[in-house]
Amino acid sequence: MTDQEVIDLINRSLAEEFELDLEKMVPEANLYEDLGLDSLDAVDMVIVLETAFNFKIRDNDAIKSIRTLGDLYNFVIEKKKKLEAAE
Amino acid sequence: MALKRVVVTGMGAVSPFGRGIDALRDGLLENRSAITKISDLHQIKGLRCHVAGLVTGIDPKEIPRKFRRTMSKMSVYATLAAQDALNDAGVSRDCCSQGRLGLVIGSTIGSVHTIQNFFEDFLKDYSLERIKSTLFFQIMGHSCAANVAQALGITGPILAPSAACSTGCQAVGYGYEMIRTGQEEMMLCGGADEFHPLTAATFDIMNAASTHFNDEPFKTPRPFDLKRDGVVCSEGSGVLFLESLDSARRRKTKIYAEILGFATNSDVSNIANPDPGSLELCMRKALLNSGLQSEQIDYINAHATGTIQGDAAEAKAIQNIFGNSVAVSSLKGHLGHTMAASGALELIATILMLEQKKIIGTLNLEEVDPECAKINHIGEIEEYPLTIALKNNFALGGVNSTVILRRYKDD
């Protein structure tokens, strides 16, 4: 999976779950202030990503510091790379 | 303490006839049945009832996702009905947030669909890792009340009575009592339920669901009729806006009806089969609380769901108090049994009848069962000099409820 494919899958998954406008899903978009997510959505976002990418990230402390979609893209890309390297 | 007069100044309905009071009024006055054959139901092993009254033609996306994400269908129905009742009453969003408005909305149970979805996933591998945070809010007992309050920004007291088929009637009764005793000035009151095959199965297991009209759904249920064979389950929500007469006069708003009395009691003779004596006691208590004599009641909107035992028990209870002098009809033939919504939806319909001075007769009542014959059945739509109406609802679990209301008169 290329980085762009990862980004596209994140965008599609979150847009479907949270009814987001794909045009607003830019790297600098703040998940909370710009996309309107809240603490309940943050919990569900983890579940949506775990299902989409078939990995576990719930207990990863780094996820708590994610603020923008760009942060999230980087986090997921890094996570996938680590998992692939470990295989 | 001087008791306050309580009036209805707003109504909202999501019924098997669709969204809105107009849809409900039109369906009833056109004497239509909202019951249809549900194709999926015949695939369920052991379920013999394949008909229901389902809500169509609403758009849940009217409710912002932030609020909708914690709602199952029943909360969507309740929120739309409550919003319509508020609009009808001309009450602003600001009023909701000032703590002056309370809410009483109940359902039979939390969302069975959501519970089913949870267990379907959970039982695959006994994992909770895929469970979303919004699950609990759809299955908790006060799901409708909490979701409506959140969506409409209601900051007054909220209550969530759960008494199955008596829920809607009790909700209106409790709201009435809170305003009457001066605790609150305005209350949104009602009930909601969503259809799930388990609802129909609940009655079918007890041989109390309609099973002989699967290919002619419009012919069932048949309240008080000789060929009645049980309940047809439906879904929806009815919400009434209640306020003190003082408040309504101050606001110079339209008044639909005045609530004169309410009673509820418990029938401990049997958890499933109603005892005429207990139903009679409930109606007598409501009359007493209203300060009315039985002769003053013009019309009874019966609970009569189309079950063999329930209809006969209610007819006997009505006969014991009113003889055959009071007009009686049931709306279950049109709507089916909307469960926790039925009390509120049928109260709204009764108010529409009071307004129009017309009685909507019992649909599918073709040959009155001798067991139910000694009361004054109305089987058609009739012009009638209606002033005061009595509304019954009786629930599995032995919960009876009665509300008495009259066409508003400025006295």
Please give the tally of structural domains in chain A: 1
* Nearest CB to A44; choose among B66, B129, B132: B132
- Averaged over B289-303, what is the pLDDT? 98
CA distance A47 to chain B (A): 6
Whether pTM > 0.95 for this model: the answer is yes
Instruction: Give the C-alpha separation, B410 to B59, whole Å.
Output: 38
Cβ-count burial B276-303 (b if 16+ within 10 Å, e if not): bebbbbbbbbbbebbebebebbbbbbbb
Give the pLDDT mean for B111-120.
96
Average pLDDT, chain B: 96
Cβ neighbours of residue B163 closer than 8 Å, sequence gap 6 or more: B106, B170, B264, B340, B395, B397, B399, B401
A51 contacts on B by Cβ (under 8 Å): 130
Closest CB from A43, A50, A51 relative to B133: A43
CB-nearest partner of B133 from A18, A19, A44: A44
Name the minimum distance, in Å, from the CA of B131 to any CA of chain A.
Answer: 8
In the prediction, which pLDDT does B141 show? Answer: 96
Test B134 with A36 for CB contact under 8 angstroms: no
Nearest to B130 among A18, A41, A51 (CB): A51
- On the question of pLDDT at B1 being above 80, the answer is no
B121, pLDDT greater than 80: yes
Element (H, E) at B391: strand B388-395
The CATH topology of domain B6-251 is: Peroxisomal Thiolase; Chain A, domain 1 (3.40.47)
Active-site residue set of B:
165, 303, 337
d(CA B176, CA B259): 7
Mean pLDDT for the stretch of residues B229-251: 97
The span from the CA of B299 to the CA of B387, in Å, is 8
Inter-chain touch A40–B131, beta carbons under 8 Å: no
Domain ranges of chain B: 6-251, 261-405
Structure tokens at B46: 């052991």
Task: List chain A residues with CB under 8 Å of B131.
Answer: 47
A13, A14, A17, A19, best to mutate vs chain B, most B CBs in 10 Å? A19
pLDDT at B66: 96
Which one from A38, A44, A59, A61 is the annotated catalytic residue? A38
Same fold yes or no, B6-251 and B261-405:
yes
How far away is chain B from the Cα of A52, in angstroms, using its nearest Cα? 11
Q: What torsion do the CA atoms of B177, B178, B180, B182 make, to the nearest 10 degrees?
A: 160
pLDDT tens-place string over residues B32-76 = 999 999 999 999 999 999 999 999 999 999 999 999 999 999 999
Interface touch A40/B69, C-beta < 8 Å: yes
pLDDT per 10-residue tile (average), chain A, 87 residues: 96 97 96 96 96 93 93 96 88
Predicted confidence at residue B313, as pLDDT, reads 97
Cβ-based contacts of A36 with chain B (< 8 Å)? 66
Please state, as a whole number, how many other Cβ atoms lie within 10 Å of the Cβ of residue B370.
9
What integer pLDDT is reported at residue B193 of this predicted model?
A: 98
What's domain B261-405's superfamily in CATH? Thiolase/Chalcone synthase (3.40.47.10)
- What CATH number has the domain bearing residue A21? 1.10.1200.10
**Chain A residues contacting B via beta carbons under 8 Å:** 18-19, 36, 38, 40-41, 43-44, 47, 50-51, 56, 58
Instruction: Work out the average pLDDT over B109-118.
Output: 97
| B-chain residues near A19 (CB < 8 A) | 65
Domain that holds residue A9: 3-86
Test the B interface: residue of A21, A32, A45, A47 with most B CBs within 10 Å: A47
Residues of chain B whose C-beta is under 8 A from some C-beta in A?
Answer: 65-66, 69, 129-134
B113 CB neighbour count, 10 Å cutoff: 18
Residues in chain B: 411
Write the pLDDT tens digit of every residue in B139-196.
Answer: 999 999 999 999 999 999 999 999 999 999 999 999 999 999 999 999 999 999 999 9
Chain B residue nearest residue A16, CA to CA:
B65
- pLDDT reading at B411 higher than 90: no
Which candidate in B122, B124, B129, B131 is best for mutational testing of the A interface (most A CBs within 10 A)? B129
Percent of chain B with pLDDT over 70: 100
Bond before B157 cis per omega within 30 degrees: no
User: What pLDDT is recorded for position B97?
Assistant: 87
